[in-house]
Amino acid sequence: MAPTILVVPGLRDHVPQHWQTLLVAQLTRVRTVPAMGRENLELAGRVAAIEREAQAVDGPIVIVAHSGGCITLAHWAQRTTRPVQGALLAAPPDFEKPMPAGYPTLAELDAAGWLPVPRCPLPFRSIVAFSRNDPLGDAMRVVQLAQGWGSRLADLGEVGHLNPASGFGPWPRAHEFIEELAAA
């Protein structure tokens, strides 16, 4: 049985031209964790939303997370018993260092339950796709995070935060990574 792809967005509202939104329209077996926006930072609600969607899937799942969704997934992985075939974690941010203006502060993230960021191995195969010039995550710190998670690293080069502000709409490589994880 082919896996269902479970899409986990970051700390954003629904964005029509985001690669995850476009990916959902291209897949046949897919579920999406609802976007909760930047105003609702509560981690517990986001973790519960992943659990609801994951438990609603019959059969194998491959998770595709972006940005803050990667950190949410790492927290969820410590709490769930749901088997996962694999996960693509694209452009994880560094929530333990101050981020640019317009993003949550360390105090806000801490108060909402995000800190500390889990650094233990994920209980499933994973690929961390990272950017060398991501304004939300220094490449060396993201590499260390991926190593803690036991993830395979995929260096995307200089692609910013892999979002519409960085010039992404469609991201065809997502399909390659999903196929790799689905074949495992």
Count of other CB atoms within 10 angstroms of residue 180: 16
Q: So what's the pLDDT on residue 46? A: 96
Per-residue pLDDT of 96-118, as tens digits, reads 999 999 899 999 999 999 999 99
Q: Centre a 10 Å sphere on the Cβ of residue 18 and count the other Cβ atoms it contains.
A: 22
**Count of CB atoms situated within 10 Å of the CB of 40:** 11
Quickly state the pLDDT bin for 12 (edges 50, 70, 90).
confident
Has residue 13 got a pLDDT over 80? no
* Cβ(128)–Cβ(151) below 8 Å: yes
Phi, psi of 62 (to 5 degrees): -120, 130
CATH number at residue 162: 3.40.50.1820
Which residue type sits at 150? G
pLDDT digits (tens, 9 = 90+) for 114-171: 999 999 999 999 999 999 999 999 999 999 999 999 999 999 999 999 998 898 888 9
Candidates 63, 55, 68, 53; CA nearest to 151 is: 63
Using one digit for the tens of pLDDT, what is the confidence trace for 19-77? 999 999 999 999 999 988 777 899 999 999 999 999 999 999 999 999 999 999 999 99
Q: Which two tokens stand for residue 31?
A: 């579920």
Q: Residues 6 or more apart from 165 whose CB is under 8 A from it?
A: none
Q: Distance between CA atoms of 34 and 96, rounded to whole angstroms?
A: 25
* This prediction's pTM: 0.96
Mean pLDDT within 89-96: 97
Q: What pLDDT score was predicted for residue 175? A: 95
pLDDT, position 136:
95
Number of domains the chain is built from: 1
Tell me the residue range of the domain where 75 lies: 4-183
State the residue for tokens 């976007």: 35
14 with 73: CB under 8 angstroms? no
Rounded CA separation 102/110 (Å): 17
Give the separation between CA 23 and CA 168, rounded to whole angstroms: 12
